[in-house]
Structure 1
Amino acid sequence: MNTNPTEYRLEGDGADIQSLPKISLHDHLDGGLRPQSLIELADELGLEVPAADAEALRAWFTEQSNSGSLVEYLKTFDLTTAVMQTRAGLSRVAREFVQDLGADGVIYGEIRWAPEQHLTRGLSLDEAVEAVQAGIEQGLDDVQALGRRIRVGQLVTAMRHNDRGLEIAELAVRHRERGVVGFDIAGPEAGFLPARHRTAFDYLASQFMPVTIHAGEADGLESIRGALLDGRALRLGHGVRIAEDLVIERQDDENTYVSLGPIAQWVRDREIALETSPSSNLQTGAIAAWGGELVDHPFDLLYQLGFRVTVNADNRLQSGTSLTRELALLSDAFGYDLDDFETFQLNAAASAFLPLDDREELAELIQDGFDEA
């Protein structure tokens, strides 16, 4: 981890945010590479990189990602995926990814990635999934050897602008007993509604495979509606534009009175988790309708209204962030305290793609860890 834990202490009681038990539901494998590892992997494959120094490369990613556009933001992944085309490359990235989660205080993480983007050097879809799982298991051993507790699952992702949805859904189901816990679609959101992959979602429903869908990030309510109806999504990847279905009726010095449209009402009342990623949402313009600063993010409004909000890093390399840092930024913006942080983690535990008993165990670990903070 490049993050110094001493930088992130909670105002008031001074709690070390990094040491708190956390859950990561929305974190992309190809968005979490260590810059030095990327340089070394590129050198092995004879690929050019924009900077030969790790810190300079880190800065390049952050600069390129601050575009205000999801489409431009996604272009940085051409470089990261290029070094993740071999069994060794995928395993190394996955192993280090888990190590970094552990260092960030994560006790349960779901790693999402799109196997169809990692086949240019001869791997099959199944071989790619197996390579990532091998790296995850090595990373778990590394973290546990340090006396930390962590569990990790794969979210196999299909690219929404391609036509391999059913094939990737079948891949996810094949590996559900070997590390895969759920399915996702990602990529350019606007113009590629979930209905495009309806056959895949029908198949996943028949197999009782949990689904989360990127929706409400680069597109609005129609995309969210499609995720819920066509995709049967149990969680919304980002989902921040659900706030477009809220109407502020009036405000006074102490209160804001809000009415919910039908989609927002459904999402809140059914406790469909919002996988918000504050820094990423600023970089991609997902919250542009409300402003350009973190304090403008609808996160707090959604939280106060009772939505099941969760906090995530999305892409740690592109956003120059960690889950610890995202929590610290939200605390600075909205004055959150330890109880709020605990609520966010309990929300995530309740929404994890795990059996009920395992989710309850996670909740107990979170409560115990916060009681000790």
Structure 2
Amino acid sequence: MTTLLENIRVIDLTTVVFGPYATQMLADMGADVIKVEPPEGDQMRQAGRPKQGRGMGPVHMTLNRGKRSIALDLKQPADAEVMRGLLADADVFVHNVRGAGIARLGFDYESVRAIRPDIIYVHCVGFGSDGPYAGLQAYDDVIQAATGTTTLLPRADGDARPRFVPSLIADKVSGLYGTQAVLAALFHRQRTGEGQLVEVPMFECFAQFMLQEHLYGEVHDDPVQPAGYPRQVDPHRQPFPTRDGWVSIVPYTAHTIARVFEVLEATEVFDDPRFATDLDRLRNVSLLYAEIARRTPARTSAEWVRILNAAGVPCMEVRDLQDIRSDPHLAAVDFFHHRDHPTEGGYVEMRLPIRFAAMPARDLAHPPAIDEHGPALRAEAQRRHKR
């Protein structure tokens, strides 16, 4: 079966989540991704308890499907030579080693370009190299703090203590920027024959992502409103209680606001002059959220989902993470594809959510053990070196 990135080889010298998530998307689209890791393995292999094999933790299982693994100590001349052999046949090299460190190893851009002149060399960094934070270490929590993301929950719930969003969101978003960067650079090379150096800075990527709506009033030189999109940080913008749980209801337009209160049989709310016109209702939507919350305990979550969606109002039951694997929609689209791993037993592989007509869904190679493909890749690099 032909894939979208057929015959594109990616050498992945990244760790943790940012880089591996970027290369995971490339593997999903058919690239041959070779994960180069130290002899002890990428540290995320230890995130969670493995079923059987060493270094086969659950986060590794989701981040490294479809990749091949080779363990190399790049400080050792023989292993560095293997790496050079792999790079000679590579289209893309992705790493997150800091600049001075990668230069000491002999794999800075100029050194790699000497091996493969048209290489697409992607450096995943914490902060852009032209700024005063260049060279600082960056992890998800650091980037959430630096971008103001840790102040969003306090705005929403009134607890002044800064808090992290409980997701590696900055890592994953920056990884998606990394995937975009690789695809754009591949397209450029196809047109021009030129490789290039690409820098993907986590801070700038996540700042742009978060500030699309939250820059808000600060988009102007003389702001008339503060930063922070009010609707997103509204303390009343929360799931609504029901008889047996919670639901998310999104009355985002004047029309859907009216429909919600029709379904609630509470149109008398609009007799209040604060809600007299469509514009009044949008301006005072926070107060309307409170009115909705007073009424939703009258029915079960399933009843509200059925009634409100039938009325054209977006509504979904609040689920626990434990329930997601049994979601009927995800089951229907085969999002969680059940596989049998050679050492870890039964597991689920999350399918690429994007559907391409030119690339039907397919089984990827299982998440690899440490150095699982090392012997074959070393032999391949040696043959390349002899040519």
Report the TM-score, using the length of structure 1 for normalisation: 0.27
Query: Which protein has the bigger helix share?
Result: 1
Report the TM-score, using the length of structure 2 for normalisation: 0.26
Name which one, 1 or 2, has greater alpha-carbon Rg.
Answer: 2
